[in-house]
């Protein structure tokens, strides 16, 4: 399943490191990296899906195949994680979770969070870094019913794959310009967030002082 035909679009920044695996392994790279990431191994699964979609937009891969493979790999990977959590218990979850900074305290909080917010969090977790890697494991440890997990996980995987594949495909060969724009304006966004955070902290401090007085 090598990539063939056409010329590869220029990939900027960290995305360029994924060009090699895609050129040599094509769809297999998407399948393996997305699947492995989803049961707790720290590999760039989401990134390779985006880059594969960019390749599809430039005519180097089939966009439908990328989307279907990304979806299937996400569902399979999360269900492997679920089985590991269900049958391996907390000990195995913590052993695997150390690669994504899942401590015993964080696992306790994640279980409470999952139990409190219900199964919808399985769908949302797909879009959140760290939660994406461990949501199957945590769901298995917490004793969630498998069929319920499977349904909400499949919904999240479909939304996640559909979102990133669509965006990557539309970006196509214009990824260099888009990446440059994001890099250029990200500094201003960070500065704005820092100002807002500083203002919020100052407001909280003043509010406390007024209460004390």
What per-residue confidence (pLDDT) applies to 155?
Answer: 92
Rg over alpha carbons for the chain, rounded to the nearest Å, is 20
> Coil, strand, or helix at residue 44?
coil
* pLDDT score of 126: 84
What is the average pLDDT score of the chain?
A: 77
pLDDT at 185: 55
pLDDT digits (tens, 9 = 90+) for 128-165: 777 787 788 888 888 888 898 999 999 999 999 999 89
According to the model, what pLDDT value does residue 73 have? 95
Residue 168 near residue 70, CB atoms below 8 Å: no
Token pair in block for residue 58: 């430039």
How would you write 107-153 as a 3-class SS string? Answer: HHHHHHHHHHHCCHHHHHHCCCCCHHHHHHHHHHHCCCCHHHHHHHH
**Positions of the chain with pLDDT under 50:** 182
d(CA 17, CA 11) in angstroms, rounded, equals 8
pTM for this one? 0.70
Q: Which two tokens stand for residue 15?
A: 């995305």
**How many angstroms separate the first and last alpha carbons of the chain?**
71
Angstrom distance (rounded) from CA 170 to CA 183:
19
- Give pLDDT, residue 77: 92
Q: Give the HSE-up count for residue 92: Cα atoms under 13 Å, Cβ half-sphere.
A: 16
pLDDT of the residue at 212: 66
Return the pLDDT at 136.
86
Map tokens 């899906």 to a residue: 49
């Amino acid at each position: 399943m090598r990539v063939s035909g056409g010329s590869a679009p220029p990939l900027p920044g960290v995305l360029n490191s994924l060009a090699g695996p895609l050129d040599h392994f094509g769809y297999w790279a998407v399948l393996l990296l997305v699947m492995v990431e989803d049961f707790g191994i720290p590999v760039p699964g989401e990134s390779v899906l985006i880059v594969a979609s960019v390749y599809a937009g430039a005519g180097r891969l089939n966009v439908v195949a990328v989307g279907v493979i990304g979806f299937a790999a996400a569902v399979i990977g999360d269900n492997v994680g679920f089985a590991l959590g269900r049958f391996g218990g907390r000990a195995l979850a913590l052993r695997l979770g150390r690669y994504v900074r899942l401590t015993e305290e964080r696992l306790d909080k994640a279980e409470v969070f999952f139990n409190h917010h219900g199964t919808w969090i399985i769908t949302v977790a797909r879009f959140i870094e760290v939660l994406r890697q461990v949501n199957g494991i945590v769901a298995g440890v917490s004793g969630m019913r498998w069929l319920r997990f499977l349904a909400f996980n499949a919904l999240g995987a479909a939304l996640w794959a559909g979102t990133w594949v669509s965006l990557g495909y539309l970006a196509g060969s214009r990824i260099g310009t888009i990446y440059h724009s994001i890099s250029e304006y990200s500094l201003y966004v960070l500065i704005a967030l820092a100002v807002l955070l500083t203002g919020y902290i100052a407001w909280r401090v003043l509010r406390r002082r007024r209460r004390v007085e």
